[in-house]
């Protein structure tokens, strides 16, 4: 299972960069959902998400949920930041790097331990560079209208709730990792493991299930007795290195996201400033009672939003192509 992260923006960003306004408008869809914005490692104040005609203020806490934002609008989400709260440039070193090249293209069907599997083909590092370049170009293009834009994220059209994880990138911008939290994708009482590190990893959970995850891939696991006992190894320079053995508790009424990453953020630093471990792990938890479902956006309200946005899109297209408006139905006499 591959995470819905910034490479999924490629077709939409290409449209934003080089297409006409009408074509770009057609490339987007309208969505309605709850959104949590979480920081990769340092709290980010002064963010805003435009929903409808207003902007909702957001503070992205360091690997911690805050109050979700109700969003209705295009599936290409724009996140802005007040210039008064933005630093000169976030440390680009904290952002995820390109995946390492694999050592062996074959994977045994049933490896004995996390340290034994060989490596299948990894994502092309050049594609990561192309994605970053296209993302920067799209943000630069949209900054002509919104100078405070710092991130773009592609939202799933069939979800009621997502988490947008912001990792620092170049020139004050952020890479947006979109995690689909809809209960149909991640049921309560389950845990999803994300590999957001640049390394190929292996995870053995509860002594039997072994998952091999390239960078940007994810897998959902089922706890035993509300626990996931996991062993994790990573591949570096063609060799497997054991990282850690640990236990994650997952209650029956919560979603849990175990994120594996590589970061030098102060969030992971000890009191003396040192960082332990080659990779880092962190768990995001959301209780069912705190899920923030779309109570105020029922199906009728969502349909009305979609219809309104579609009418605005049609009006824009008629204006650009000078098409006449659709004729109104004649009134019947009483």
Domain boundaries, given as residue ranges, for the chain: 6-290
Residue 17 clears pLDDT 70, i.e. is over it: no
Q: Which residues pair with 69 in a beta bridge?
A: 35
Residue 140 clears pLDDT 90, i.e. is over it: no
pTM for the whole structure: 0.70
Q: Is the dihedral of CA 188, 191, 192, 194 positive or negative?
A: positive
Residue 66 clears pLDDT 80, i.e. is over it: yes
- Split at pLDDT 50, 70, 90, the class of 300 is low
CB 172 within 8 A of CB 89: yes
Residue that has been written with the tokens 């349909």 in this structure: 303
Chain-centre distance for alpha carbon 193: 13
CB atoms within 10 A of CB 233: 24
Per-residue model confidence as pLDDT tens digits over 230-274: 999 999 888 999 999 999 999 999 999 999 999 888 888 877 777
Angstrom CA distances, 33 to 53, 69, 162, 254, 309, stand at: 16, 8, 8, 19, 15
- Residues 52-68, buried b or exposed e (16+ Cβ, 10 A)? eeeebebebbbbebeeb
Chain-centre distance for alpha carbon 290: 20
Helix ranges, 154-281 (H): none
Q: Mean pLDDT for the chain?
A: 75
Average pLDDT of 214-235? 94
Q: How many CA atoms lie within 13 A of 46 on its CB side?
A: 10
Average pLDDT of 322-332? 53
Residue 72 clears pLDDT 80, i.e. is over it: yes
Q: Is the dihedral of CA 183, 184, 185, 188 positive or negative?
A: positive
CB atoms within 10 A of CB 189: 16
pLDDT value, residue 97: 43
Chain-centre distance for alpha carbon 40: 11
Q: What is the CA radius of gyration of the chain?
A: 22
Give the burial class of 37: count Cβ atoms within 10 A of its Cβ; 0-12 exposed, 13-18 middle, 19 or more buried.
buried
CB 181 within 8 A of CB 171: no
Euclidean distance between CA atoms 68 and 154, whole angstroms: 17
Q: What is the dihedral of CA 14, 15, 19, 21, to 10 degrees?
A: -140
Please tell me which of 16-20, 65-69, 180-184, 190-194 the model is most confident about, judged by mean pLDDT.
190-194
């Amino acid at each position: 299972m591959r995470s819905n992260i910034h490479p999924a923006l490629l077709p939409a960003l290409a449209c934003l960069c080089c297409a006409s306004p009408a074509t770009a408008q057609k490339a987007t869809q309208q969505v309605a959902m709850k959104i949590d914005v979480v920081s990769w490692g340092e709290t980010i104040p002064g963010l805003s998400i435009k929903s409808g005609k207003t902007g909702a203020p957001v503070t992205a806490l360091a690997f911690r949920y805050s109050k979700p934002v109700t969003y209705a609008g295009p599936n290409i989400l724009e996140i802005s930041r007040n210039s008064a709260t933005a630093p000169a440039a976030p440390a680009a070193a904290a952002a995820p790097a390109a995946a390492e090249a694999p050592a062996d293209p074959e994977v045994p069907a049933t490896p004995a331990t996390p340290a034994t599997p060989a490596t299948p083909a990894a994502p092309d590092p050049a594609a990561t560079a192309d994605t970053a370049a296209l993302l920067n170009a799209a943000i630069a293009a949209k900054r002509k209208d919104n100078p405070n834009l710092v991130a773009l994220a592609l939202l799933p059209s069939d979800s009621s709730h997502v988490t947008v994880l912001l990792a620092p990138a170049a020139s004050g911008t952020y890479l947006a990792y979109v995690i689909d939290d809809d209960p149909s994708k991640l049921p309560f009482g389950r845990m999803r493991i994300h590999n957001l590190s640049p390394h190929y990893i292996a995870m053995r959970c509860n002594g039997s299930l072994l998952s091999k995850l390239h960078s940007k891939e994810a897998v959902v696991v089922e706890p035993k007795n509300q626990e996931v006992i996991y062993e994790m190894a990573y591949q570096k320079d063609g060799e497997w290195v054991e990282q850690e053995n640990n236990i994650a508790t997952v209650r029956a009424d919560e979603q849990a996201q175990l994120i594996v990453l590589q970061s030098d953020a102060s969030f992971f630093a000890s009191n003396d400033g040192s960082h332990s471990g080659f990779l880092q792990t962190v768990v995001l938890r959301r209780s069912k009672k705190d899920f923030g479902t779309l109570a105020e956006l029922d199906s009728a309200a969502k349909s009305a939003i979609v219809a309104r946005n579609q009418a605005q899109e049609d009006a824009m297209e008629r204006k650009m192509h000078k098409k006449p408006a659709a004729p109104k139905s004649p009134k019947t006499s009483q």
